[in-house]
């Protein structure tokens, strides 16, 4: 996720911006830059790579000045590069802009501004903001920003400076974080409190569409219509480390809570309530191409593999194309049958996992087309695949994957729908039903995140068990596997997932008095069979926590505890049922005193075989 810092005051802006940006490094970034008002001009220095690169540049070519904006970029539109780094200029370099978020209608705005003569130098969505502010500028930068944001759809936190009004910094947010820091004869903006914590502990927490003007003398906040807004000063009492996690105790729980937004962002501008079109900018598969494809392989590791298992169900059900899911480390060595009639989908949060990359290269070598589903713009997977679908989860810091997984699920649904429409296997009416249900998912995840008591109680009661079993059928089986992986990696408890129907073919011998079993029963068609399977383990003494859809109260007769998820069509329940499993793992891990964010023996990106 991008990071923004801004400063207006009597001190030199440059070192304060760099220091602030360094405190936002935890958010992840691939490039950095600053714009500083200097001697009647705006000077920008920006570059791809670590903040240190920018710092070195600024040491070599210092920019003096007491007003500036800084940015760390996590690429979404356009690869990480010097030119795509923020800040961005308008055409005569009188206005500079930094942005965090996604401008959903940037293609429309780009075309419109292009027709007015604006030229675009970057691949970013942000550059439209610089030109838009320029378009509306008529001697008043505050009004120009207000007019510009009226045209923008999507999420944004913006910092804007103009050389014509060099004492001001204008800022505004919608659905992306931004705060104001209040100092003595100086003021700040930042994406997050840690960026300014060494300078001030007095902040304003901005609400959507509050327009802020900062000068060194003070801060004014108005509505877009110019009505004054009065705000209470928030005194930060957290220490720096707690502030980095936004008040959450660990990155994992923070990232679990970021899922409604990550899911929404991943659907943004691809599936829309008012359109029957699925827009995938980086997938160029045509009807003709698809006619020549008779098999799909989904290849991935770990959590991404579990998302691929859901992908198999979804694509086969919707697009009626046979799909095989493979663990990447196994794929290459089993002499897979690949050719130009095969489509491979690799799923990788990092886009750098060695085994997944090896599978991708093998497929390319054999003439297959490859789609990469990845969270990192410009990653190896994105560079080497033929087509890309980015998950817009933002950087994941905790080793245990949570928001990357749910956004990978969304990517699987989007691809499934896309292929089904391309393949003429789905009517518009059928599409609309699934699309509307998908668009409702963020709100449903939000509600789930409010119910934690049952899970906390179950975690506490079972934290000392040596084994925990997970059961599910169909899509619930895929989610059970992910739930078990999550628990074992962060709590070190032996957790095993089984297809519930397979239980009596061996694993049931492990069920004994007091063994905890997590049973997923969200698939309406399989519900009764699942209840029977639960009964089988209850009879042998298991303590069962069931995950079921609201209203499926019959489950209570065979469960010690039930966590209900909001109702959704069977196909989409994995996005919901995994949330309690993530939370449960988290609570067990902290109850056992484990290092939640950095579990033993694990690395975030596995770049060796
Ligand atoms: C588990 C986890 C891992 C990764 C796996 C693949 O929580 O994070 O299982 O899913 O190492 O990583 P990527 O998706 O980066 O290829």
Atom 8 (ligand 1) nearest CA: 401
The question of whether 168 is a catalytic residue gets the answer no
Give the pTM: 0.84
Q: Is 301 in the pocket of ligand 1 (CB under 6 A)?
A: yes
> Which secondary structure element, helix H or strand E, spans residue 315, and what is its range?
helix 302-319
Which string of DSSP letters, residue by residue, matches 340-371?
TTEEEEEEESSS--HHHHHHHHHHHHTT-EEE
Superfamily of domain 447-591 in the CATH hierarchy: Glucose-6-phosphate isomerase like protein; domain 1 (3.40.50.10490)
* Residue with the two structure tokens 């196909």: 571
Q: How many whole angstroms from 156 Cα to the centroid of ligand 1?
A: 29
Confidence of residue 16 (pLDDT cuts 50, 70, 90): very high
Which of 3.40.50.2300, 3.60.20.10, 3.40.50.1980, 3.40.50.1100 is the CATH number of 3-244?
3.60.20.10
Q: Is 585 in the pocket of ligand 1 (CB under 6 A)?
A: no
The question of whether 444 is a catalytic residue gets the answer no
* Residue with the two structure tokens 């931004």: 178
Q: How many whole angstroms from 159 Cα to the centroid of ligand 1?
A: 34
The residues spanned by each domain of the chain are 3-244, 254-439, 447-591
Q: Is 353 in the pocket of ligand 1 (CB under 6 A)?
A: yes
Confidence of residue 395 (pLDDT cuts 50, 70, 90): confident
Confidence of residue 555 (pLDDT cuts 50, 70, 90): very high
Distance CA 576, CA 383 (A): 32
Q: 250, 298, 301: which to mutate for ligand 1, most atoms within 8 A of CB?
A: 301
Bridge-based pairing of strands 88-89 and 211-214 is unpaired
Predicted pLDDT of residue 247: 80
Distance CA 580, CA 586 (A): 10
CA distances from 557 to 12, 166, 531, 538, 596 (A): 68, 69, 9, 10, 34
Structure tokens at 275: 């359109």
Predicted pLDDT of residue 28: 81
Return the bridge partners of 346, or none: 299, 372
- Whether 254-439 shares its CATH topology with 447-591 is answered yes
Fold of 254-439: Rossmann fold (3.40.50)
The whole-number average pLDDT for the span 395-401 is: 92
578-607 pLDDT tens trace: 999 999 999 999 999 999 998 988 877 777
Q: Can you tell me which atom of ligand 1 is nearest the CA of 606?
A: 11
Between CA 501 and CA 362, with CA 417 as vertex, the angle to 5 degrees is: 80
Q: How many whole angstroms from 304 Cα to the centroid of ligand 1?
A: 6
Distance CA 203, CA 172 (A): 15
Confidence of residue 242 (pLDDT cuts 50, 70, 90): confident
Distance CA 284, CA 119 (A): 26
Bridge-based pairing of strands 179-182 and 169-174 is unpaired
The whole-number average pLDDT for the span 200-217 is: 95
Q: How many whole angstroms from 298 Cα to the centroid of ligand 1?
A: 15
């Amino acid at each position: 996720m991008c990071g923004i810092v801004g400063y207006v005051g009597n001190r030199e802006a440059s070192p304060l911006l760099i220091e602030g940006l360094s405190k936002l490094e935890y958010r992840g970034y691939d490039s950095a830059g600053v714009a500083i008002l200097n001697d009647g001009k705006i000077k920008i220095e920006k570059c791809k790579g670590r903040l240190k690169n920018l710092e070195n540049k600024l040491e070599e070519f210092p920019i003096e000045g007491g007003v500036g904006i800084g940015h760390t970029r996590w690429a979404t539109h356009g690869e990480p590069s010097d030119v795509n780094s923020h800040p961005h200029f308008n055409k005569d370099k009188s206005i500079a802009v930094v942005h965090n978020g996604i401008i959903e209608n940037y293609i429309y705005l780009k075309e419109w501004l292009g027709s007015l003569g604006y030229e675009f130098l970057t691949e970013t969505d942000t550059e439209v903001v610089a030109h838009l502010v320029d378009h509306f500028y008529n001697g008043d930068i505050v009004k120009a920003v207000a007019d510009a944001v009226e045209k923008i759809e999507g999420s944004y936190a913006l910092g804007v400076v103009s050389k014509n009004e060099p004492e001001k910094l204008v800022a505004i947010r919608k659905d992306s974080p931004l705060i104001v820091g209040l100092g003595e004869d100086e003021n700040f903006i930042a994406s997050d409190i840690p960026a300014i914590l060494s300078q001030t502990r007095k902040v304003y927490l901005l609400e959507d569409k509050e327009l802020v003007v900062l000068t060194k003398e003070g801060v004014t906040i108005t509505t877009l219509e110019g009505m004054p807004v009065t705000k209470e000063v928030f005194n930060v009492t957290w220490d720096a480390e707690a502030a980095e996690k936004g008040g959450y105790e660990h990155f994992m729980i923070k990232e679990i809570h970021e899922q409604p937004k990550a899911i929404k962002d991943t659907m943004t501008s691809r599936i829309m309530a008012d359109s029957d079109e699925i827009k995938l900018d980086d997938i160029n598969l045509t009807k003709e191409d698809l006619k020549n494809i008779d098999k799909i392989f989904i290849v991935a590791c770990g959590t991404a593999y579990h998302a691929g298992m859901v992908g198999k169900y979804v694509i086969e059900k919707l697009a009626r194309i046979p799909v095989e899911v493979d663990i990447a480390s196994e794929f290459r060595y089993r002499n897979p049958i690949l050719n130009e009639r095969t489509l491979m989908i690799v799923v990788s949060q990092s886009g750098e996992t060695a085994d997944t990359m090896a599978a991708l290269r093998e497929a390319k070598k054999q003439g297959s087309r490859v789609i990469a589903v990845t969270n990192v713009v410009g990653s190896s997977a994105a560079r080497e695949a033929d087509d890309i679908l980015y998950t817009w989860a933002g950087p994941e810091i905790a080793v245990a994957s949570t928001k990357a997984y749910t956004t990978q699920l969304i990517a699987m649904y989007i691809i499934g729908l896309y292929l089904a429409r391309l393949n003429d296997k789905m009517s518009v009416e059928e599409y609309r039903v699934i699309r509307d249900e998908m668009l409702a998912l963020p709100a449903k995840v939000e509600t789930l995140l409010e119910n934690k008591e049952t899970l906390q109680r179950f975690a506490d009661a079972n934290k000392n068990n040596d084994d925990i079993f997970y059961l599910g059928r169909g899509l619930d089986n895929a989610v059970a596997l992910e739930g078990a992986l999550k628990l074992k990696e962060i709590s070190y408890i032996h957790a095993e997932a089984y297809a519930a129907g397979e239980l009596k073919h061996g694993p049931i011998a492990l069920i004994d008095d007091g063994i905890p079993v997590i049973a997923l029963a969200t698939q309406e068609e399989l519900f009764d069979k699942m209840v029977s399977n639960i009964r089988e383990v209850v009879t042998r003494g298991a303590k069962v926590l069931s995950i079921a859809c609201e209203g499926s109260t019959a489950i209570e007769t065979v469960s010690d505890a039930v966590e209900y998820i909001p109702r959704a069509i069977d196909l989409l329940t994995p996005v919901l049922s995994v949330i309690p499993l993530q939370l449960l793992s988290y609570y067990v891990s902290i109850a056992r005193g484990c290092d939640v964010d950095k579990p033993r023996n694990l690395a975030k990106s596995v770049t060796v075989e």
